Chain A
């Protein structure tokens, strides 16, 4: 007789976010009413959250946790085709995610996601020009940024100035190569961190290895 596979919750990490064991497999997942979005598997109501695809999942699996509340308002810069946003949409069940992406092709796929989810406001805009969506986006509790661009720090600072509430938090995914393609990553990161300190309190930073090479996350508070 075939043994039926069992699903077990090992740990609750954030709202609707769990470490799951299924058979011999241990993985991160979000509880979701929606169907898979980027080729991830769904076990019962749990959508696998793949760290190689999502830097936020990589950060969590590397042991760092941020506090997310179900009713948060979030501004997400660099939504791409919506891999990470899809999981945040599970987590911020009662919240709103204003998601900015400037490239039309991935945005097309992201738009499909926005239609399925009630809490996503899709914006085809350039994140370096917040004036173009200042009449649309309200003040938010959290800004998440994943845009591999040279001036990503300036873009984050500008958006925080426009939209981040006092004591609001931010999470920035930094790719060394896109800031400086020749310098040592460790140098690029320490320069980035010291510049961030001018405007924010840095709560934590860390590597995203082995899932994303030469990347760090930076968690800040205004």
Chain B
């Protein structure tokens, strides 16, 4: 006997017989429904419990809207926090990988045995886990902030989000703030020097320095690129917060600017 969980209940298949058990809570069964490709027509079967096609569709639509309302709120409430805690996990795993790798080197200088092999295996597993988490961050980030993620990739997008605290706050930041996000320490140091009448350089970039478009440019062009990228990030974050739709020309403009600067 095979069981299929469909939105209006459960369908049991015995040999070629199909039996339908109607759910008493469509919202619940809709959320729980999950199945492989159905070997029968969902619509035809539904007419065993719905009096007409019209009633089927109106119940389906009502349920889908109800479920969507619940899930949208849930998703919007939790995704900022989810991404930020994934990012923290990523950083901690990196620390672990570095620490273990160092220990392995220390041990191997003395002797290679079972213990060092075990260490190696664990580091290998941590690296796999790291990859998984990074993928997860990218996919969650492109859901929550498609434009920012398109511009700088999932991990940098997540770091900006972490620094800002939430997408709402990132969306209210000026480009110049985003540009030095993560370099606050050197900014305040420079500002206090300037206040005392001394010479100082303000930082050109913080988190966004990790982006290849900035890192790979000659030093004197980095400030220009960082400023441009940050201004587009500010726009992107606002679009992400207020509409959530991908604006394709943003990433395009950044790419062009990079090519122009690189020459």
Residue positions of A touching B, CB distance < 8 A: 80-81, 96, 102-109, 111, 114-115, 118, 120-124, 130-139, 148, 161-162, 175, 177, 212-213
Contacts and interface: CB of A to CB of B under 8 A. Distances in A.
Given A131-B34, A135-B6, A175-B248, A104 B79 contact: yes
Interface of B: 4-7, 30, 33-38, 41-43, 57, 60-61, 64-65, 67-69, 71-72, 75-76, 79, 142-144, 146, 240-241, 243-246, 248, 251-252
Contact of B143 (A103, A114, A130): A103
A38 to B, nearest CB: 9
Given A103-B146, A138-B42, A139-B42, 11 more contacts: A103-B142, A103-B144, A104-B75, A105-B243, A105-B244, A122-B64, A124-B72, A135-B6, A135-B7, A135-B42, A138-B43
A109 B68 CA distance: 11
B34 A135 contact: yes
Contact of A122 (B4, B38, B68, B79): B68
B38 A135 contact: yes
B38 to A, nearest CB: 6
B64 A81 contact: no
A121 B143 contact: no
A122 B65 CA distance: 6
A134 B38 contact: yes
B41 to A, nearest CB: 6
A104 B72 contact: yes
Q: Is the interface of B mostly helix, strand, loop or mixed?
A: helix
Given A131-B34, A135-B7, A138-B43, A102 B143 contact: yes
B243 A106 contact: yes
A19 B248 CA distance: 27
7 contacts: A80-B244, A106-B243, A135-B33, A139-B41, A139-B42, A175-B248, A177-B251
Contacts of A106: 243-245
Contacts of B30: 136
B66 to A, nearest CB: 10
A105 B33 contact: no
Contacts of A138: 41-43
A177 B249 CA distance: 11
B76 A136 contact: no
Given A81-B245, A105-B243, A121 B61 contact: yes
Given A122-B64, A124-B72, A135-B42, A104 B5 contact: no
Contact of B36 (A81, A104, A134): A134
A183 to B, nearest CB: 14
Given A123-B68, A124-B72, A135-B5, A103 B244 contact: yes
A96 B6 contact: no
B168 to A, nearest CB: 12
